[in-house]
Amino acid sequence: MVRVGPAGGAGPTSADGGPEPAGEDPAPVPFTRLDFADPELLEELLGEVRAVAERGAFTLGEPVESFEREFAAYCETDHAIGVSSGTEALALALRALEIGPGDEVIVPVNSFIATAEAVSAVGATPRLVDVDPDSHLITAETVAENLAPNVRCIIPVHLFGATVELDPIIELAQESGIHVIEDACQAHGARYRGRRVGSIGALGCFSFYPTKNLGAWGDGGAITTSVPELAERVQLLRAHGERPRYHHRVVGTTARLDALQAAVLRRKLARLEESNAERRRLGAALRNSLASATGAGPRLELANAAAAEAEHADHVYHLFVVRTPAREELRAHLSERGIASAVHYPIPIHLTDAYAHLGLGPVSLPVSERLAGEICSLPIFPGMSDAEAQRVAQAVLDFTQAAQVV
Ligand SMILES: *Cc1c(COP(=O)(O)O)cnc(C)c1O
Protein backbone atom coordinates (compact mmCIF):
# COMPACT_ATOMS: atom_id res chain seq x y z
CA MET A 1 0.00 0.00 0.00
CA VAL A 2 1.20 3.50 -0.78
CA ARG A 3 1.66 5.42 2.41
CA VAL A 4 0.69 9.09 2.29
CA GLY A 5 -0.98 11.57 4.55
CA PRO A 6 -0.25 13.39 7.79
CA ALA A 7 1.84 10.52 9.17
CA GLY A 8 4.34 11.15 6.40
CA GLY A 9 5.25 14.51 8.00
CA ALA A 10 6.14 17.27 5.62
CA GLY A 11 4.73 17.37 2.11
CA PRO A 12 6.64 16.31 -0.96
CA THR A 13 10.21 17.60 -1.08
CA SER A 14 12.91 17.40 -3.68
CA ALA A 15 16.13 15.45 -3.16
CA ASP A 16 17.90 18.33 -1.42
CA GLY A 17 15.01 18.80 0.98
CA GLY A 18 13.75 21.97 -0.61
CA PRO A 19 10.18 22.53 -1.77
CA GLU A 20 8.95 20.59 -4.77
CA PRO A 21 9.32 22.60 -7.96
CA ALA A 22 6.03 23.88 -9.35
CA GLY A 23 4.25 21.57 -11.77
CA GLU A 24 5.31 18.40 -9.96
CA ASP A 25 2.56 15.79 -9.45
CA PRO A 26 0.83 16.06 -6.08
CA ALA A 27 0.96 13.10 -3.65
CA PRO A 28 -1.10 10.11 -4.73
CA VAL A 29 -4.61 9.63 -3.33
CA PRO A 30 -4.80 6.13 -1.83
CA PHE A 31 -7.97 4.02 -1.99
CA THR A 32 -8.24 3.93 1.79
CA ARG A 33 -6.07 4.77 4.80
CA LEU A 34 -5.49 2.48 7.77
CA ASP A 35 -4.90 3.31 11.44
CA PHE A 36 -1.13 3.76 11.20
CA ALA A 37 -1.72 7.00 9.30
CA ASP A 38 -3.08 8.56 12.53
CA PRO A 39 -0.17 8.54 15.03
CA GLU A 40 -2.39 9.35 18.01
CA LEU A 41 -4.83 6.53 17.26
CA LEU A 42 -1.94 4.15 16.57
CA GLU A 43 -0.44 4.82 20.03
CA GLU A 44 -3.81 4.42 21.72
CA LEU A 45 -4.44 1.09 20.02
CA LEU A 46 -0.91 -0.19 20.71
CA GLY A 47 -1.58 0.58 24.39
CA GLU A 48 -4.68 -1.62 24.24
CA VAL A 49 -2.74 -4.45 22.62
CA ARG A 50 -0.07 -4.20 25.33
CA ALA A 51 -2.69 -4.28 28.09
CA VAL A 52 -4.25 -7.47 26.70
CA ALA A 53 -0.83 -9.10 26.27
CA GLU A 54 0.15 -8.20 29.83
CA ARG A 55 -3.03 -9.73 31.22
CA GLY A 56 -2.40 -12.83 29.12
CA ALA A 57 -6.14 -13.43 28.62
CA PHE A 58 -6.59 -13.75 24.87
CA THR A 59 -10.01 -15.36 24.49
CA LEU A 60 -13.37 -13.91 25.53
CA GLY A 61 -13.23 -12.23 28.97
CA GLU A 62 -13.53 -8.56 29.81
CA PRO A 63 -12.53 -6.86 26.52
CA VAL A 64 -14.94 -9.02 24.50
CA GLU A 65 -17.81 -8.62 26.98
CA SER A 66 -17.33 -4.85 27.19
CA PHE A 67 -17.16 -4.53 23.42
CA GLU A 68 -20.28 -6.65 23.03
CA ARG A 69 -22.21 -4.47 25.49
CA GLU A 70 -21.04 -1.28 23.79
CA PHE A 71 -21.67 -2.52 20.26
CA ALA A 72 -25.21 -3.71 21.19
CA ALA A 73 -25.90 -0.27 22.69
CA TYR A 74 -24.49 1.43 19.59
CA CYS A 75 -26.71 -0.72 17.33
CA GLU A 76 -29.66 0.02 19.63
CA THR A 77 -30.38 -3.65 20.20
CA ASP A 78 -30.16 -5.96 23.21
CA HIS A 79 -27.39 -8.39 22.34
CA ALA A 80 -24.16 -8.41 20.37
CA ILE A 81 -21.98 -11.51 20.17
CA GLY A 82 -18.39 -11.11 19.01
CA VAL A 83 -17.26 -13.69 16.46
CA SER A 84 -14.21 -14.37 14.31
CA SER A 85 -15.36 -12.79 11.00
CA GLY A 86 -18.34 -11.46 9.08
CA THR A 87 -18.59 -14.72 7.15
CA GLU A 88 -18.70 -16.67 10.43
CA ALA A 89 -21.32 -14.23 11.76
CA LEU A 90 -23.57 -15.05 8.80
CA ALA A 91 -22.99 -18.80 9.13
CA LEU A 92 -23.67 -18.80 12.88
CA ALA A 93 -26.78 -16.67 12.39
CA LEU A 94 -28.08 -19.26 9.91
CA ARG A 95 -27.20 -22.10 12.28
CA ALA A 96 -28.95 -20.31 15.15
CA LEU A 97 -32.10 -20.35 13.00
CA GLU A 98 -31.50 -24.05 12.27
CA ILE A 99 -31.12 -23.50 8.55
CA GLY A 100 -29.19 -26.30 6.88
CA PRO A 101 -29.25 -28.99 4.18
CA GLY A 102 -32.37 -28.91 2.00
CA ASP A 103 -33.08 -25.26 2.80
CA GLU A 104 -32.71 -22.34 0.41
CA VAL A 105 -31.71 -18.81 1.35
CA ILE A 106 -32.38 -15.77 -0.88
CA VAL A 107 -29.16 -13.79 -1.41
CA PRO A 108 -28.65 -10.77 -3.70
CA VAL A 109 -25.99 -11.63 -6.26
CA ASN A 110 -24.60 -8.09 -6.06
CA SER A 111 -22.62 -8.67 -2.88
CA PHE A 112 -19.28 -9.91 -1.64
CA ILE A 113 -19.15 -13.70 -2.14
CA ALA A 114 -19.17 -14.26 1.65
CA THR A 115 -22.95 -13.79 1.82
CA ALA A 116 -23.43 -16.86 -0.40
CA GLU A 117 -20.52 -18.78 1.13
CA ALA A 118 -22.08 -18.63 4.60
CA VAL A 119 -25.22 -20.26 3.21
CA SER A 120 -23.15 -23.00 1.58
CA ALA A 121 -21.10 -23.44 4.77
CA VAL A 122 -24.19 -24.54 6.72
CA GLY A 123 -25.18 -26.98 3.95
CA ALA A 124 -28.04 -24.87 2.59
CA THR A 125 -28.31 -23.53 -0.98
CA PRO A 126 -28.10 -19.85 -1.88
CA ARG A 127 -30.93 -18.71 -4.16
CA LEU A 128 -29.10 -15.92 -5.97
CA VAL A 129 -31.33 -13.08 -7.15
CA ASP A 130 -30.79 -9.89 -9.13
CA VAL A 131 -30.88 -6.35 -7.71
CA ASP A 132 -32.80 -3.18 -8.48
CA PRO A 133 -31.26 -1.24 -11.42
CA ASP A 134 -31.44 2.08 -9.52
CA SER A 135 -30.54 1.23 -5.92
CA HIS A 136 -28.38 -1.81 -6.80
CA LEU A 137 -29.92 -3.48 -3.74
CA ILE A 138 -32.38 -6.34 -3.22
CA THR A 139 -36.09 -5.39 -3.22
CA ALA A 140 -39.28 -6.96 -1.87
CA GLU A 141 -40.51 -7.48 -5.45
CA THR A 142 -37.54 -9.69 -6.26
CA VAL A 143 -37.96 -11.57 -3.01
CA ALA A 144 -41.65 -12.16 -3.80
CA GLU A 145 -40.77 -13.56 -7.23
CA ASN A 146 -38.32 -15.97 -5.64
CA LEU A 147 -40.32 -17.37 -2.77
CA ALA A 148 -40.38 -21.16 -3.08
CA PRO A 149 -41.29 -23.98 -0.70
CA ASN A 150 -37.69 -24.59 0.42
CA VAL A 151 -36.86 -20.92 0.99
CA ARG A 152 -36.48 -20.40 4.74
CA CYS A 153 -34.53 -17.17 4.96
CA ILE A 154 -33.60 -13.92 3.16
CA ILE A 155 -30.30 -12.09 3.60
CA PRO A 156 -30.68 -8.46 2.46
CA VAL A 157 -27.24 -6.84 2.04
CA HIS A 158 -26.79 -3.15 2.93
CA LEU A 159 -24.20 -2.82 0.16
CA PHE A 160 -21.64 0.04 -0.06
CA GLY A 161 -23.13 1.51 3.17
CA ALA A 162 -26.59 2.10 1.63
CA THR A 163 -29.66 0.77 3.40
CA VAL A 164 -32.03 -1.76 1.83
CA GLU A 165 -35.76 -0.82 1.88
CA LEU A 166 -36.42 -3.39 4.61
CA ASP A 167 -40.00 -2.95 5.84
CA PRO A 168 -41.70 -4.55 2.78
CA ILE A 169 -39.17 -7.42 2.90
CA ILE A 170 -39.80 -8.02 6.60
CA GLU A 171 -43.55 -7.90 6.02
CA LEU A 172 -43.31 -10.41 3.21
CA ALA A 173 -41.09 -12.67 5.31
CA GLN A 174 -43.52 -12.59 8.21
CA GLU A 175 -46.44 -13.47 5.93
CA SER A 176 -44.43 -16.36 4.49
CA GLY A 177 -43.02 -17.60 7.79
CA ILE A 178 -39.39 -17.10 6.80
CA HIS A 179 -36.49 -15.38 8.56
CA VAL A 180 -34.56 -12.20 7.73
CA ILE A 181 -30.84 -11.89 8.52
CA GLU A 182 -29.34 -8.49 7.71
CA ASP A 183 -25.87 -8.51 6.16
CA ALA A 184 -24.67 -5.20 7.62
CA CYS A 185 -20.97 -5.90 6.95
CA GLN A 186 -20.66 -2.67 4.90
CA ALA A 187 -23.05 -0.46 6.87
CA HIS A 188 -22.06 -0.21 10.56
CA GLY A 189 -24.04 2.63 12.09
CA ALA A 190 -26.35 3.38 9.14
CA ARG A 191 -29.99 3.99 10.01
CA TYR A 192 -33.05 2.72 8.16
CA ARG A 193 -36.12 4.82 8.96
CA GLY A 194 -34.45 5.84 12.19
CA ARG A 195 -33.39 2.36 13.27
CA ARG A 196 -29.82 1.10 13.18
CA VAL A 197 -29.14 -1.56 10.58
CA GLY A 198 -28.58 -4.93 12.24
CA SER A 199 -31.35 -4.25 14.76
CA ILE A 200 -34.23 -4.85 12.34
CA GLY A 201 -34.09 -8.45 11.08
CA ALA A 202 -34.04 -11.47 13.43
CA LEU A 203 -30.25 -11.16 13.42
CA GLY A 204 -27.73 -8.66 12.05
CA CYS A 205 -24.25 -9.62 10.87
CA PHE A 206 -21.17 -7.38 10.90
CA SER A 207 -17.58 -7.76 9.68
CA PHE A 208 -14.65 -5.96 11.28
CA TYR A 209 -12.24 -6.66 8.42
CA PRO A 210 -9.66 -3.83 8.62
CA THR A 211 -11.08 -1.68 5.80
CA LYS A 212 -14.74 -1.83 6.94
CA ASN A 213 -16.35 1.24 8.55
CA LEU A 214 -15.45 -0.33 11.90
CA GLY A 215 -12.24 -2.29 11.32
CA ALA A 216 -10.11 -4.49 13.59
CA TRP A 217 -6.41 -5.30 13.22
CA GLY A 218 -7.20 -8.56 11.49
CA ASP A 219 -10.45 -10.49 11.19
CA GLY A 220 -13.48 -10.13 13.41
CA GLY A 221 -17.25 -9.93 13.31
CA ALA A 222 -20.40 -9.65 15.38
CA ILE A 223 -24.00 -10.79 15.43
CA THR A 224 -26.69 -8.53 16.83
CA THR A 225 -30.17 -9.59 17.93
CA SER A 226 -32.94 -8.65 20.33
CA VAL A 227 -34.07 -12.27 20.72
CA PRO A 228 -32.47 -13.73 23.89
CA GLU A 229 -32.77 -17.35 22.70
CA LEU A 230 -30.93 -16.56 19.46
CA ALA A 231 -28.21 -14.67 21.34
CA GLU A 232 -27.71 -17.62 23.63
CA ARG A 233 -27.54 -20.09 20.76
CA VAL A 234 -24.93 -18.02 18.94
CA GLN A 235 -22.89 -17.74 22.17
CA LEU A 236 -22.90 -21.51 22.49
CA LEU A 237 -22.14 -22.18 18.82
CA ARG A 238 -19.14 -19.83 18.61
CA ALA A 239 -17.30 -21.65 21.42
CA HIS A 240 -17.83 -25.42 21.18
CA GLY A 241 -21.34 -25.33 22.62
CA GLU A 242 -19.63 -25.07 25.99
CA ARG A 243 -21.37 -23.97 29.18
CA PRO A 244 -19.96 -24.32 31.79
CA ARG A 245 -16.37 -25.37 31.03
CA TYR A 246 -16.18 -28.82 29.33
CA HIS A 247 -19.96 -29.24 29.29
CA HIS A 248 -20.76 -29.23 25.59
CA ARG A 249 -24.45 -28.67 25.00
CA VAL A 250 -24.48 -28.47 21.20
CA VAL A 251 -21.99 -29.20 18.43
CA GLY A 252 -20.36 -25.80 17.97
CA THR A 253 -17.09 -24.51 16.58
CA THR A 254 -14.21 -22.10 17.28
CA ALA A 255 -15.44 -18.72 16.08
CA ARG A 256 -14.76 -16.30 18.93
CA LEU A 257 -13.75 -12.67 18.61
CA ASP A 258 -10.17 -12.33 19.96
CA ALA A 259 -9.68 -10.23 23.09
CA LEU A 260 -6.99 -8.25 21.20
CA GLN A 261 -9.44 -7.39 18.44
CA ALA A 262 -12.16 -6.53 20.95
CA ALA A 263 -9.81 -4.14 22.76
CA VAL A 264 -8.90 -2.41 19.48
CA LEU A 265 -12.54 -2.31 18.38
CA ARG A 266 -13.74 -0.70 21.66
CA ARG A 267 -11.50 2.28 21.06
CA LYS A 268 -12.51 2.58 17.44
CA LEU A 269 -16.22 2.17 18.19
CA ALA A 270 -15.97 5.32 20.31
CA ARG A 271 -14.97 7.17 17.11
CA LEU A 272 -17.39 5.49 14.71
CA GLU A 273 -20.09 8.18 14.75
CA GLU A 274 -17.45 10.75 13.92
CA SER A 275 -15.80 8.72 11.18
CA ASN A 276 -19.18 7.85 9.62
CA ALA A 277 -20.07 11.55 9.69
CA GLU A 278 -16.86 12.20 7.78
CA ARG A 279 -17.75 9.54 5.22
CA ARG A 280 -21.23 11.02 4.80
CA ARG A 281 -19.79 14.51 4.36
CA LEU A 282 -17.20 13.33 1.80
CA GLY A 283 -19.84 11.25 0.03
CA ALA A 284 -22.15 14.25 -0.25
CA ALA A 285 -19.29 16.44 -1.51
CA LEU A 286 -18.35 13.90 -4.19
CA ARG A 287 -21.98 13.50 -5.21
CA ASN A 288 -22.44 17.26 -5.54
CA SER A 289 -19.26 17.67 -7.55
CA LEU A 290 -20.10 14.78 -9.84
CA ALA A 291 -23.75 15.74 -10.36
CA SER A 292 -22.59 17.77 -13.34
CA ALA A 293 -20.56 14.90 -14.79
CA THR A 294 -21.86 15.18 -18.32
CA GLY A 295 -19.68 16.20 -21.18
CA ALA A 296 -18.49 15.14 -24.57
CA GLY A 297 -16.76 12.13 -23.04
CA PRO A 298 -18.08 8.80 -21.77
CA ARG A 299 -21.39 8.62 -19.89
CA LEU A 300 -20.86 8.42 -16.13
CA GLU A 301 -23.39 8.04 -13.32
CA LEU A 302 -23.31 7.76 -9.56
CA ALA A 303 -23.81 4.05 -9.08
CA ASN A 304 -26.48 3.69 -6.43
CA ALA A 305 -27.74 7.26 -6.28
CA ALA A 306 -31.29 6.00 -5.75
CA ALA A 307 -30.21 4.29 -2.54
CA ALA A 308 -28.44 7.43 -1.34
CA GLU A 309 -31.38 9.67 -2.15
CA ALA A 310 -34.24 7.40 -0.99
CA GLU A 311 -36.47 8.77 1.73
CA HIS A 312 -35.43 5.96 4.10
CA ALA A 313 -31.74 6.30 3.26
CA ASP A 314 -28.75 6.97 5.46
CA HIS A 315 -25.75 6.09 3.33
CA VAL A 316 -22.58 5.64 5.42
CA TYR A 317 -20.37 5.41 2.31
CA HIS A 318 -18.33 2.31 2.99
CA LEU A 319 -17.64 2.72 -0.73
CA PHE A 320 -18.30 5.51 -3.22
CA VAL A 321 -19.20 3.89 -6.51
CA VAL A 322 -19.69 5.36 -9.97
CA ARG A 323 -20.54 3.53 -13.18
CA THR A 324 -19.49 4.03 -16.76
CA PRO A 325 -19.30 1.80 -19.83
CA ALA A 326 -15.70 3.08 -20.15
CA ARG A 327 -14.70 1.73 -16.72
CA GLU A 328 -11.21 0.52 -17.66
CA GLU A 329 -10.44 3.85 -19.35
CA LEU A 330 -11.67 5.72 -16.27
CA ARG A 331 -9.42 3.64 -14.02
CA ALA A 332 -6.41 4.24 -16.28
CA HIS A 333 -7.20 7.98 -16.35
CA LEU A 334 -7.35 8.08 -12.52
CA SER A 335 -4.22 6.00 -12.16
CA GLU A 336 -2.27 8.39 -14.39
CA ARG A 337 -3.25 11.16 -11.98
CA GLY A 338 -2.14 9.16 -8.93
CA ILE A 339 -5.68 8.32 -7.84
CA ALA A 340 -6.39 4.78 -6.69
CA SER A 341 -9.64 2.99 -7.55
CA ALA A 342 -11.11 -0.49 -7.19
CA VAL A 343 -14.00 -2.64 -8.45
CA HIS A 344 -16.55 -4.11 -6.04
CA TYR A 345 -17.05 -6.66 -7.52
CA PRO A 346 -15.83 -7.54 -11.02
CA ILE A 347 -17.46 -11.01 -11.17
CA PRO A 348 -21.03 -11.49 -9.93
CA ILE A 349 -21.27 -14.43 -7.52
CA HIS A 350 -23.18 -16.69 -9.94
CA LEU A 351 -20.45 -16.33 -12.58
CA THR A 352 -17.57 -17.29 -10.24
CA ASP A 353 -16.09 -20.77 -10.58
CA ALA A 354 -17.15 -21.40 -6.98
CA TYR A 355 -20.84 -21.08 -7.88
CA ALA A 356 -20.80 -22.47 -11.41
CA HIS A 357 -22.56 -25.57 -9.99
CA LEU A 358 -25.74 -23.53 -9.48
CA GLY A 359 -26.06 -23.49 -13.26
CA LEU A 360 -26.90 -19.79 -13.58
CA GLY A 361 -25.01 -18.76 -16.67
CA PRO A 362 -24.51 -15.33 -18.23
CA VAL A 363 -27.64 -13.21 -18.85
CA SER A 364 -29.49 -14.94 -16.02
CA LEU A 365 -29.14 -11.95 -13.65
CA PRO A 366 -28.68 -9.08 -16.13
CA VAL A 367 -28.65 -6.04 -13.83
CA SER A 368 -25.84 -7.35 -11.66
CA GLU A 369 -23.92 -8.63 -14.68
CA ARG A 370 -24.07 -5.23 -16.37
CA LEU A 371 -23.02 -3.48 -13.14
CA ALA A 372 -20.02 -5.78 -12.72
CA GLY A 373 -18.67 -4.49 -16.04
CA GLU A 374 -19.30 -0.79 -15.35
CA ILE A 375 -18.80 -0.02 -11.66
CA CYS A 376 -15.75 1.71 -10.21
CA SER A 377 -15.16 2.50 -6.53
CA LEU A 378 -13.44 5.85 -5.90
CA PRO A 379 -11.34 6.67 -2.81
CA ILE A 380 -13.35 7.63 0.28
CA PHE A 381 -12.12 7.26 3.87
CA PRO A 382 -12.08 9.10 7.18
CA GLY A 383 -9.10 11.44 7.16
CA MET A 384 -9.44 12.15 3.42
CA SER A 385 -8.87 15.89 2.97
CA ASP A 386 -11.25 18.15 1.09
CA ALA A 387 -8.41 18.79 -1.36
CA GLU A 388 -8.08 15.05 -2.00
CA ALA A 389 -11.84 14.69 -2.52
CA GLN A 390 -11.72 17.67 -4.88
CA ARG A 391 -8.88 16.10 -6.85
CA VAL A 392 -10.80 12.87 -7.21
CA ALA A 393 -13.93 14.71 -8.36
CA GLN A 394 -11.99 16.91 -10.77
CA ALA A 395 -10.21 13.93 -12.32
CA VAL A 396 -13.56 12.21 -12.89
CA LEU A 397 -15.09 15.39 -14.34
CA ASP A 398 -12.10 15.81 -16.68
CA PHE A 399 -12.67 12.26 -17.83
CA THR A 400 -16.33 12.87 -18.68
CA GLN A 401 -15.47 16.08 -20.49
CA ALA A 402 -12.69 14.62 -22.60
CA ALA A 403 -14.05 14.34 -26.15
CA GLN A 404 -11.81 11.41 -26.81
CA VAL A 405 -10.99 8.56 -24.53
CA VAL A 406 -7.48 7.23 -24.61
C1 LIG B 1 -16.83 -8.09 4.23
C2 LIG B 1 -18.14 -8.69 3.94
C3 LIG B 1 -18.53 -9.95 4.42
C4 LIG B 1 -17.59 -10.90 5.08
O5 LIG B 1 -16.89 -10.45 6.15
P6 LIG B 1 -15.46 -11.10 6.54
O7 LIG B 1 -15.20 -10.49 7.87
O8 LIG B 1 -14.48 -10.71 5.50
O9 LIG B 1 -15.65 -12.57 6.63
C10 LIG B 1 -19.82 -10.38 4.17
N11 LIG B 1 -20.69 -9.63 3.47
C12 LIG B 1 -20.34 -8.44 2.97
C13 LIG B 1 -21.37 -7.65 2.20
C14 LIG B 1 -19.06 -7.92 3.16
O15 LIG B 1 -18.73 -6.75 2.63
Q: Specify the pLDDT at position 11.
A: 39
Contact 288, 397 (CB under 8 A): no
Q: Does 17 have pLDDT greater than 50?
A: no
Do 252 and 110 have their domain in common?
yes
Q: Specify the pLDDT at position 260.
A: 98
Output the CA 86–ligand 1 centroid distance in Å.
5
Q: In what order do the strands lie in the sheet with 375-378?
A: 301-302, 320-323, 375-378
Ligand 1 contact, 60 CB (< 6 A): no
Do 233 and 295 have their domain in common?
no
Do 228 and 212 have their domain in common?
yes
Ligand 1 contact, 87 CB (< 6 A): yes
Q: Does 405 have pLDDT greater than 90?
A: no
Contact 78, 226 (CB under 8 A): yes
Write the residue with the smallest CA distance to atom 14 of ligand 1.
Answer: 185
Do 310 and 167 have their domain in common?
no
Q: How many domains does the chain have?
A: 2
Across the chain, what does the average pLDDT equal?
92
Contact 256, 60 (CB under 8 A): yes
Domain assignment present for residue 323? The answer is yes
Do 166 and 312 have their domain in common?
no
Q: Specify the pLDDT at position 403.
A: 55
CA distances from 340 to 38, 186, 392 (A): 20, 20, 9
Write the residue with the smallest CA distance to atom 6 of ligand 1.
Answer: 86
Calculate mean pLDDT across residues 292-301: 82
Calculate mean pLDDT across residues 323-347: 97
Q: What is the pLDDT of residues 161-208, one digit of tens each?
A: 999 999 999 999 999 999 999 999 999 999 999 999 999 999 999 999
